[in-house]
Amino acid sequence: DVKVTQSSRYLVKRTGEKVFLECVQDMDHENMFWYRQDPGLGLRLIYFSYDVKMKEKGDIPEGYSVSREKKERFSLILESASTNQTSMYLCASGGNQPQHFGDGTRLSIL
Amino acid sequence: AQSVTQLGSHVSVSEGALVLLRCNYSSSVPPYLFWYVQYPNQGLQLLLKYTSAATLVKGINGFEAEFKKSETSFHLTKPSAHMSDAAEYFCAVSPKAAGNKLTFGGGTRVLVKP
């Protein structure tokens, strides 16, 4: 069965901290994605990666960066966390459509 | 640019009644269309997808959706709601030429009353 695993379900950090969210997929997919989910806004794409060390900005990349050193792992980095980055973060992977999602990380920035 | 509008952020249905969730899209080129479901404290699961084959698409758990190009719609239906259908549903669109970079609607939360 396909699996996308996010390292933390819940995370609490402080303003200004550097925050790492990790995601691992076991399906050998080329594409991996990071979304944030906010009520009424659906999911918005932050960054995606179509190959190792390759990345593209999504719709809301400001304040975030990503790292993809290995095919199975895609990390989202909040360079200096701010309270407006409190949200649910979802990782996904896919070859062609559709995408497979992890269970999400609920991140609170205090 | 593409966008997705889901009419109604909350829908309440009685168990056994028809479920109808509305989705309209705007896209400069014919897109791929998707419906996802999110159960509490979980990620998204694909219900069904339209990729330019049959316009009536059947998915998992008894759901189906019909692509209507003239109305730019992709509404999701289920003839008889079950308590287990209580969840949030997301419509999404992807341009055919851009792989699986999805644009999501705002979501519709479904409440099923006994």
Mention every residue, 6+ apart, whose C-beta is less than 8 A from residue B54. Answer: none
Predicted local distance difference test score (pLDDT) of residue A100: 87
B91 to chain A: closest CA residue: A42
**Residue listed under structure tokens 């109604």:** B8
pLDDT in tens, A5-35: 999 999 999 999 999 999 999 988 888 999 9
Contact list, A4 vs chain B (CB under 8 Å): 43
Q: Any CB–CB contact under 8 A between A94 and chain B? A: yes
Nearest CA-CA distance, residue B61 and chain A, Å: 17
d(CA B72, CA B50): 13
d(CA B51, CA B56): 11
Helix, strand, coil percent content, chain A, rounded in steps of 5: 5, 55, 40
In sequence order, the β-bridge partners of residue A108 are A12
Between chain A and chain B, the number of residue pairs with CB atoms below 8 A apart is 59
Collect all residues from B whose CB is shorter than 8 A from any CB in A.
4, 6, 9, 32, 34, 41-46, 49, 51, 90, 92, 94, 99-107
User: Per DSSP, which regions of chain B are E strands?
Assistant: 3-7, 10-14, 19-26, 31-38, 44-50, 56-58, 64-68, 73-78, 87-95, 103-104, 108-113
Closest to A78 in 3D by CA, of A67, A91, A70 = A67
Predicted local distance difference test score (pLDDT) of residue A104: 94
- The one-letter code for the residue type at A101 is F
Q: Any CB–CB contact under 8 A between A90 and chain B? A: yes
Weakly modelled stretches of chain B, pLDDT under 70: 97-100
